[in-house]
Copies of this chain bind each other. A is one copy, B any other.
Amino acid sequence: MWDRRDFLDIDSLSLQDIGLILKCAEIFENYSGRGNKLEMCRGEILVTAFFEPSTRTEKSFEAAMYVLGGDVLRHHEAGSSREKGESKIDTLHVLEQYSDIIAIRDPEVGMMRSYADSLKIPVINAGDGFNQHPTQTMLDLYTIKKEIGKLTGLTVVFFGDLKYGRTVHSLIKALRLFGDNKFYGVSPKGLELTDVYTGKDYKEIEMDDVTKIKPDVIYSTRIQKERMHPEERDNYSYEINKKFMEKLPAKTRIMHPLPRIDEIHPEIDDDPRFIPFKQVRNGLHTRMALLALMLDHEKEILSLSKKR
């Protein structure tokens, strides 16, 4: 049973919480389709309060709420009262008067707990700086489970900027909850995973070793070249392309939270092992699950699975 008011970080989730979200996402995936609009959240309003732009995440929440039958108010910084000097918390207190649940994106790290304590409606962390992006982690877990069939006994290679990649940090934390997984990291000099996230189950390897370990998942992230060591920058060798894919087994899945820049060559877009756009689609269903659970519709979700 879902009994949390807010959804702020991976650390405060139990295996049961995650399991319930994934289960409900699956129900929604099986149920929804064109024209199959739900009435579950009819008359309920989501506010997306984005103190930093992020159309991808915003659109995902928005679509999720529409499919659930609810409405959405979008708050952006541009042109808002914040430009007249209003504090973020005052802006949030205004928005909560119009809505039933709020998803907040904030460039500042670590304010989510204090926002949640101050607001009377449920709060979702839609990304706070370099810290966490827990709804992304839910869709990543859902994708791995769906594609590989399990969340334990996995071999996962993290690829790219592991120092600043918050999606990597959150995913590694979540997969450790399930246990018995092996992690590998491939990253340019200076962008290695920080000690807070490494452990006995984690090993740094070279690009050439990746194909040898036959990974279940290669989780790639955007590398901002300006963060790379100048030598490596001029000699960029972190591209996932056709040649690289040829050496990987059929079971391996290439994931990426998007946007991608140069890390993955478009020539592999038709390879069925390349699944970032499936992740996006899965994000719709996991966010539907989260919104509906947090708005107390658990029973209605579970009853959907019987309807079919």
**Interface positions of A (Cβ within 8 A of B):** 34-38, 41-45, 53-56, 59-60, 62-63, 66-67, 71, 73, 75-76, 78-82, 84-87, 89-90, 93-95, 97-100, 222, 258-261, 266, 277, 280-281, 283-284, 295
- Knowing A55-B80, A94-B280, say if A86 contacts B43 (CB, 8 Å): no
| Sample of 7 A–B contacts (CB below 8 Å) | A34-B43, A34-B295, A54-B79, A55-B75, A55-B76, A84-B259, A97-B283
- Identify A43's interface contact among B54, B67, B87, CB under 8 A: B67
CB <8 Å contact, B63 and A100: no
Could you tell me the distance between the alpha carbons of A86 and B264 in the complex, rounded to whole angstroms?
Answer: 12
Chain B residues contacting A87 (CB-CB under 8 Å) are 266
Interface-centre pick from A42, A55, A99, A222 (highest chain B CB count, 10 A)? A55
CB <8 Å contact, B258 and A90: yes
- Identify A284's interface contact among B56, B81, B98, B277, CB under 8 A: B98
Could you tell me the distance between the alpha carbons of A224 and B195 in the complex, rounded to whole angstroms?
Answer: 48
Residue of B nearest to A222 (CB): B84
Residue of B nearest to A37 (CB): B43
A224 to chain B, nearest CB (A): 9
Chain B residues contacting A44 (CB-CB under 8 Å) are 34-35, 37
